[in-house]
Amino acid sequence: MIRKSWWKLLSFILLVYTCSYGFLVKVPSPPGVPLKQTIRNLFFHVPMWIAMMVCFTVSVVYAIKYLRKQDKVSEVYSTEFARTGTFLGIMGLLTGMIWAQFQWGKAWSGDAKQNGTAIALLMYFAYFVLKGSLNDEEKQARIGAVYNIFAFFMLFPTIWILPRLTESLHPGGMGSEGNPGLNPKDTTNDMRTVMYPAFLGWTLLSVWITTLRIRVQLIQQKKLDNE
């Protein structure tokens, strides 16, 4: 049997709900707003970023924990959460590019937020390059953890602060409403009944996948220690 956890079941229920009712819920289509049906991407594209931020936050917490206690388990947690976070970021970027192709006419229009997230993701790529380039395990863990903290505190300026300072195609830029993730005018209460379950469901699924990776890593380490 699998390790039973209520949240695994919850993520399943929430995502089935999201992926069925998300297509059927009435979406507003006010004149002058060209989003039309694509606003349903709110249930799929935006949760990628929410889940990414959760993963990176958990990752940095475990990085700090590692630096305080020097335990290997925290190191595994930190690395694997960063890995899932990076994957979700890539998925968010790709889905965003598909959306942009049909909404803004170009997959990449150098929008403040597109550039910002690309920079943030490159910093996390550098995290894995840095870790991979060090042979000594302890050094790898320690320098990786320190870099992780640095990357985390660069992530939020690039995705939340910088896009607000310039004009952006995303919501929340200079002169447009909302925050860099959402425009409250584009969402209705009906949509929120899908949006929040979607955020939670996708986040829980990514946590589930991460725990699988962590468990594999821990089994491998145990094997190495026994040899």
Partner 1 sequence: MNKLTRIISVMLLTITTIAAQAQTAVAEPEDFMHSNGKIYVVVAVVVTILLGLFFYVYSLDRKISKMEK
Which residue in the block uniquely carries the two structure tokens 């089935």? 16
Residues 19-48 that bind partner 1 (CB under 8 A): 19-20, 23-24
Among the residues of 37-136, which ranges form H helices? 45-69, 72-103, 112-133
Q: Does residue number 212 form part of the binding site for partner 1 (CB under 8 A)? A: yes
Nearer to partner 1, 53 or 205 (CB): 205
Contact between residue 57 and residue 78 where contact means Cβ atoms under 8 Å apart = no
Q: Does residue number 101 form part of the binding site for partner 1 (CB under 8 A)? A: no
- Helices 72-103 + 45-69 axis angle, to 10: 160
Q: Does residue number 216 form part of the binding site for partner 1 (CB under 8 A)? A: yes
Q: Does residue number 219 form part of the binding site for partner 1 (CB under 8 A)? A: yes
Instruction: Compute the least distance from the CB of residue 197 to partner 1, in Å.
Output: 14
Rounded CA-CA distance 111/173 in Å is 10
Q: CA torsion, points 40, 42, 43, 47, in degrees to nearest 10?
A: 160
Contact segment (CB under 8 A) with partner 1 among 56-64, 98-106, 131-139, 213-221 equals: 213-221
Contact between residue 55 and residue 210 where contact means Cβ atoms under 8 Å apart = yes
Nearer to partner 1, 19 or 162 (CB): 19
Contact segment (CB under 8 A) with partner 1 among 1-9, 110-118, 144-152, 192-200 equals: 1-9
Contact between residue 100 and residue 128 where contact means Cβ atoms under 8 Å apart = no
Contact segment (CB under 8 A) with partner 1 among 7-15, 71-79, 149-157, 190-198 equals: 7-15
Candidates 7, 12, 108, 156: give the one binding partner 1 (CB under 8 A). Answer: 12
Contact segment (CB under 8 A) with partner 1 among 17-25, 114-122, 124-132, 172-180 equals: 17-25
Q: Alpha carbon 87 to chain centroid distance?
A: 8
Which residue in the block uniquely carries the two structure tokens 């929410």? 50
151: how many CB neighbours lie within 10 A of its CB? 23
Residues 150-209 that bind partner 1 (CB under 8 A): 205, 208-209
Report the interface residues with partner 1, using CB under 8 A.
Answer: 1-3, 8, 12, 15-16, 19-20, 23-24, 205, 208-209, 212, 215-216, 219
